[in-house]
Chain A
């Protein structure tokens, strides 16, 4: 190739993907180009044919080499001597001259030379397509004729970006790179245009490139740069290069929101499930523990009740046999009526002791105490009185069975048994706000409340109170004992009982 004197810049390239034996010369300012062909010496030139096309119009077709015109030359200053001839001179300004040379033995092995006299057009992106997964496979969402700055959101479903370029005769020339604008690094480059899926209005296949979504590591601006390749290798200055370069900015959002939305949803479901499960497990354990606790409580209560029962029955034998002895005395005195009466009282008392009843009404308790005290009166002459204010309704208010009896027994045994007829016991049922206060008062000699071992009776009473507090956790039982030489008063408060 020889160019005329108006040529300022000649850019030459001959490496293109999928385009073997192709050389490309960019001759922007050349008017006329003379095309010379050089053969190595051993080549049988007569087998070669050539075709010259100007734009799409063939000027010479399948022409053999005019061997007569062949001369020996040092083509390009090489030491090797070639056989050369000129195929002719052609106007190239505004035209594309394509020279095809081939051997008739290998007619598909075409040497192709493109002499480009037009300005190389800037590439244009016709469409950007995102590929995303669907239930059936994949589908594409296109953005056609994207602007220079295009917002693009990649969701988790999207996996691929396709860049569709406008169709040109020299697609192979265009070199595409993608630059991460934040780091200024090229993260992708390719010249390997594919043809297939995308068709222009004129039913030509459009070149496209496929880009894996994963090259976009994070959201931000990325630049798609498409420029003619190779020209820069031949020292086209960058400023000049820019004339042929297109830049598209992709504002990419890696949809972490969407991504995390989905993730979040999964997480939320998982978390909710785990929390739910944990909650259920905890609930189960709490329930189990509560059940156990309840059972323990119940058992504790039962044990307490049993203990209470055993204590209750311990209180009585001495009294019982003495009471029987008292009845025997009435019989021996021929006091049949009283013997009957006291025997009945005794029976009633015994029945009460044997009874497992947990609660009895105050009136029942009063009756019991009447019986008991009257039996005791048979043994020791003393007076007694059971007082109750209007407050507590005797028939409705219930108290633990045999609650006061031990205290009354103590009052008899230790309080007034020595005072005989002077002795007096006063029992009071009273209401103080919501508390039921039961007091037993005797005018005996009293005892030292500070002393620890105040007899079995008091010990039992204390353990009774402790046991009652175990059983009736809501209502505290408090026992107060005041004793002086003039007498003893015990008062038992059942808090919030009424």
Chain B
């Protein structure tokens, strides 16, 4: 894979180059850039397969590089030191990211994933990401769900509930549709909680829109419109109750 690295800090570029050389031999670094405009230039010039993109670059962001490109036919791995908002958006788009200092295993995983992925899919995810970024924080209405072989863009109101299955998560959508996503429920709970989703249980995340009633049996159970019964674990009882009262 021919890769371009964009980061405003030279040491970060050096570091990533060194790590890639050592641990990801399938990656060839064809160019680096230290700011947005250089980044756009090298991408347009070299048309890489893979882009390592720093999110925070001085006063600008890596997202601006993406915005400025007419076509985005490459895989992207975001690299960031600390950027909660940016990462949130990246997660909603189900795109990959690395945190600095870079963990070698995560780097290898990300590169391997990118290697297997279809560029068209990534392009649509990037479109989605740029759309999301236009909106104010926590006001996402859609989320990208990475399935086995495709990406599903799901409106949040379509999601009835999520259920953990080891490191996977089942999404139960309206119309009895069920999607299995290869990320943990914890990750989705973090993403969707700001949108009002309720973590009723270690294994359950519920869209309050679909709650029909609170059943007192077994120390509290949520009855959904779909007829499903979702357990509420003790530690979550109070927060769930409060949240439901505020609706």
Binding site for B on A (CB under 8 A): 317-322, 324-330, 332-333, 378-381, 413-414, 417-418, 420, 455
- The distance from the CB of B18 to the nearest CB of chain A, in whole angstroms, is 4
19 cross-chain CB contacts under 8 A: A318-B56, A318-B81, A318-B82, A318-B83, A321-B99, A322-B12, A324-B101, A325-B81, A325-B102, A326-B12, A328-B15, A329-B12, A329-B15, A333-B14, A333-B18, A379-B12, A380-B10, A418-B35, A455-B59
Chain A residues with CB under 8 A of B59: 414, 455
Which residues of chain B come closer than 8 Å to A455, judged between CB atoms? 59
Partner of B11, one of A317, A319, A326, A414: A326
| Across-interface contacts of B22 in A (CB, < 8 A) | 332
Asked if B58 CB lies within 8 Å of chain A CBs, one says: yes
CB B105 to nearest CB in A, in angstroms, measures 14
Give bound CA distance, A50 to B182, whole Å.
156
Tell me whether B44 is interfacial, beta carbon within 8 Å: no
A417 touching B8 by the CB < 8 A rule? yes
9 further contact pairs, Cβ within 8 A, besides A327-B101, A329-B12, A420-B10: A317-B81, A318-B56, A320-B81, A320-B82, A325-B102, A329-B15, A379-B9, A379-B11, A413-B58
Query: Contact between A325 and B14 (Cβ–Cβ < 8 Å)?
Result: no
B212 at the interface (CB under 8 A from A): no
A381 x B99 contact (CB < 8 A): no
A317–B99 CA distance with the chains assembled, in angstroms: 12
The size bracket of the interface on B is 20 to 34
Which residues of chain B have C-beta atoms less than 8 A from A414's C-beta? 58-59
Known: A380-B9, A417-B58. A329 touches B81 (CB 8 A): no
Q: Shortest CB–CB separation between residue A61 and chain B, in angstroms? A: 128
**A332 pairs with B19, CB closer than 8 A:** yes
Give the residue name and chain of the A residue nearest to B12 (CB): A325
Contact string against A for B residues 136-167, beta-carbon threshold 8 Å, 1 for contact and 0 otherwise:
00000000000000000000000000000000
Separation of A330 and B12 alpha carbons in the complex (Å): 10
Known interface pairs A318-B81, A320-B82; A328-B8 also in contact (CB < 8 Å): no
Task: Give chain A residues whose Cβ lies under 8 Å from the Cβ of B15.
Answer: 325-326, 328-329, 332
Query: What residues of chain A lie closer than 8 Å to B102, measured between beta carbons?
Result: 325, 328
Closest Cβ–Cβ distance, residue B241 to chain A (whole Å): 30
Determine if B100 and A325 form an interchain contact, defined as CB atoms under 8 angstroms apart: yes
Q: How far is the CB of B57 from chain A (nearest CB, A)?
A: 9
List the 6 shortest-distance A-B pairs measured between CB atoms, nearest first.
A329-B15, A321-B81, A317-B82, A332-B18, A325-B100, A328-B101
Task: Report A-chain residues with C-beta under 8 Å of the C-beta of B58.
Answer: 413-414, 417-418
CA–CA, A384 and B59, complex, Å: 21
| In the complex, per-residue mask of B1-33: 1 if CB is within 8 Å of any chain A CB, else 0 | 000000011111011001100100000000000
Q: Which residues of B contact A418 (CB under 8 A)?
A: 35, 58
Residues of B within 8 A of A332 (CB): 14-15, 18-19, 22
Nearest chain B CB to A240 CB, angstrom units: 115
Which B68-111 residues have C-beta < 8 A from chain A? 81-83, 99-102
* CB atoms of B82 and A325 under 8 A apart: no
Q: In the bound complex, how far is the Cα of B56 from the Cα of A333, in angstroms?
A: 24
CB contacts (< 8 Å) of A381 on chain B: these are 10
Measured in the bound complex, the distance between the Cα atoms of B56 and A332 in whole Å is 23
Considering only CB atoms, which chain A residue lies closest to B99 in the complex? A321
Specify the chain A residue showing the minimal Cβ separation from B14: A329
Alpha-carbon distance between A75 and B76 when the two chains are bound, in angstroms: 161
Q: How far is the CA of A380 from the CA of B59 in the complex (A)?
A: 15
Chain A residue nearest to B18 (CB atoms) is A332
Residues 48-73 (chain B) with a chain A CB within 8 angstroms: 56, 58-59
In whole angstroms, how far apart are the Cα atoms of A333 and B11 in the complex?
A: 10
Query: Which one of B15, B19, B35, B56 has the highest number of Cβ atoms from chain A below 10 Å of its Cβ?
Result: B15
Contact B19 A322 (CB under 8 A): no
Determine the chain B residues whose CB is within 8 A of the CB of A328 once the complex forms. 15, 100-102
Q: How far is the CB of A374 from chain B (nearest CB, A)?
A: 13
Nearest opposing residue in chain B for A418, CB measure: B58
* A329-B12, A379-B9, A417-B58 known; A322+B100 contact, CB < 8 A: yes
**Are A325 and B10 in contact, CB atoms less than 8 angstroms apart?**
no
Residues of B within 8 A of A324 (CB): 100-101
By the criterion CB–CB under 8 Å, are B11 and A378 in contact?
A: yes
Point out the residue from B9, B18, B35 that lies within 8 Å of A322, measured CB to CB.
Answer: B9
Q: For A327, what are the chain B residues with a Cβ–Cβ distance below 8 Å?
A: 101
Minimum distance in angstroms from A181 CB to a CB of chain B: 95
Partner of B82, one of A321, A326, A378, A420: A321
